[in-house]
Structure formats: C-alpha cells, structure tokens
C-alpha cells in the first residue's frame, strides 16, 4: 500500500512537470513564429514582445528543474522513472536555448529595419527555415507526450533539411555580398539570424533524441553527420 501511495504521488508530480514542459514548449513555438514574423515585417514592437516573453520561458525552466530535483529527492524514483525525470530536465534545457536563439533573432529586427533591404529571396528562405524548425519542435513535443520513438526519429532526420536550407542561404548571402559591398552589413546580420535558426534545429533534434532514449533506452547514433557544410567554405 505505501508503495502504491508513493507511485501515485510520483505520477502526480510527473504529470505536473510534463504540463509545465508543454506550456514551455508552446511558448517556445510562439517565440520562433513571432521572431520570424518580426524580422519579416521589421516590426520592432513584436520583437520586443519576443524578448519580454523570454523571461517566462526562463522562469518555467527554473520551475521544472526545481520540481524535478524535488521528485528525485523525495520520491526516490526507480531507474526507469529516473530516466523520465532526467529527460524532462534535458528537454527543458534545450527549450530554454531555443528561446534564447529566438530572442537573439528578434534583437536583429531593429538593426535590419534601419538598413537597406536586400533581395527578398533571402527573407523567404529564412521564413521557410524558421517554419520547419517550429514544425519539428511541435512534432518532437508530440513524440514526447505520446512516447512515439518513430515520430522522434522522423524529427531527427528532418534536421538535415534545415541544414541544407542553411547552406543554400549562406551561399546566396555570400553572392549578394560579392555583388555589392553595400550588401555586406545586412547580409552579415541575416547570416547571424540564419545560424540561430540552424542551431535551433540542433536543439530540437536533441529533444527528439531524448525521446528516443526515453522510449527505447538506446541513444540515437551520435555520429550522425551534420549537413552544415559552411565551415568548409
């Protein structure tokens, strides 16, 4: 009977933590969407909202980590349950980093608003990249809640598409800079934004890898090659 009580208490604690994870995930999805929109429309007010909302994301990470630490200390979870709690902490950490990258993107809105715009194809590529990362994050969180290792594996595979979009955009920005020196400053800022989006994809992938580990007990192949080839340029 006491064991059932402890198990029930653990389940309640875990449900509460998982609810916080989903709330945090929703805020991060919104941050990606709004930071991309603020850049696209040069909306500085919207960019400021993204920066302000990042405080809520940081606060949730702190709450989740504190709650997870309490569960470990008070409930003495079994090895399998401990894996769940540790996965939650790692997922919240990756969500917090994605939120930071969204905030960094939003910070560029004001700078780019004051610069001469370049060809809109770069803006379109950035929108597509950000949208794909947002969809990947939604699927990664769904995979976590549903304990769906196949969906998580699909998210991991899709990171290659984000890397390839980044590579293509990097080459395009390089061409713009070579064509006209006046493009150098805006292109450098756009490249910074693109790199932030590419890094978001990496953190979404890390979340999906945690889901695979949580469900199967096996870690995905860590030698998975990155498709970002810009370091070779």
Give the phi and the psi of residue 221 in degrees, each rounded to 5: -60, 115
Measured CA to CA, the distance from residue 210 to residue 116 in angstroms comes to 42
- pLDDT value of position 77: 76
Task: Summarize pLDDT for 91-102 with one digit per residue, the tens.
Answer: 999 999 999 999
Structure token digits, residue 22: 């989903």
Phi-psi region of 97 (alpha: psi -120 to 50; beta: other; left: phi over 0): alpha
Distant-in-sequence, close-in-space partners of 59: CB < 8 Å, separation ≥ 6: none
Task: Summarize pLDDT for 37-63 with one digit per residue, the tens.
Answer: 998 888 999 999 999 999 999 999 999
pLDDT over threshold 80, residue 3: no
Average pLDDT (127-147) is 96
Average pLDDT (133-161) is 97
Percent of the chain with pLDDT over 70: 91
What count of other Cβ atoms lies within 10 Å of the Cβ of residue 114? 9
- pLDDT value of position 167: 96
- pLDDT value of position 150: 97
Structure token digits, residue 203: 């953190």
Confidence category of residue 118, pLDDT binned at 50, 70, 90: confident
- pLDDT value of position 222: 58
Of residues 86 and 151, more confidence is placed in 151
Of residues 219 and 53, more confidence is placed in 53
The CATH architecture to which 2-232 belongs is Up-down Bundle (1.20)
Measured CA to CA, the distance from residue 170 to residue 192 in angstroms comes to 10
């Amino acid at each position: 009977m006491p064991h059932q009580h402890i198990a029930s208490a653990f389940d309640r604690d875990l449900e509460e933590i998982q609810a916080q994870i989903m709330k945090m995930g929703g805020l991060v999805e919104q941050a990606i969407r709004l930071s991309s929109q603020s850049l696209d429309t040069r909306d500085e007010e919207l960019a400021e909202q993204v920066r302000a909302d990042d405080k809520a994301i940081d606060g949730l990470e702190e709450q989740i980590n504190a709650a997870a630490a309490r569960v470990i200390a008070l409930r003495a979870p079994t090895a399998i349950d401990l894996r769940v709690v540790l996965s939650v902490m790692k997922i919240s950490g990756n969500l917090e980093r994605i939120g930071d990258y969204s905030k960094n993107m939003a910070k560029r809105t004001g700078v780019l608003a004051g610069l001469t715009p370049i060809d809109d194809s770069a803006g379109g590529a950035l929108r597509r990249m950000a949208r794909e990362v947002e969809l990947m994050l939604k699927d990664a969180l769904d995979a976590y809640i549903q304990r769906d290792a196949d969906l998580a594996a699909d998210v991991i595979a899709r990171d290659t598409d984000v890397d390839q979009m980044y590579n293509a955009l990097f080459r395009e920005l390089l061409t713009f800079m070579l064509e006209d020196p006046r493009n150098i400053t805006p292109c450098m800022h756009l490249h910074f934004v693109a790199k932030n989006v590419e890094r978001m994809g990496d953190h979404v992938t890390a979340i999906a890898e945690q889901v695979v580990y949580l469900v199967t007990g096996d870690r995905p192949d860590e030698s998975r090659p990155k498709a970002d080839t810009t370091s070779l340029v």
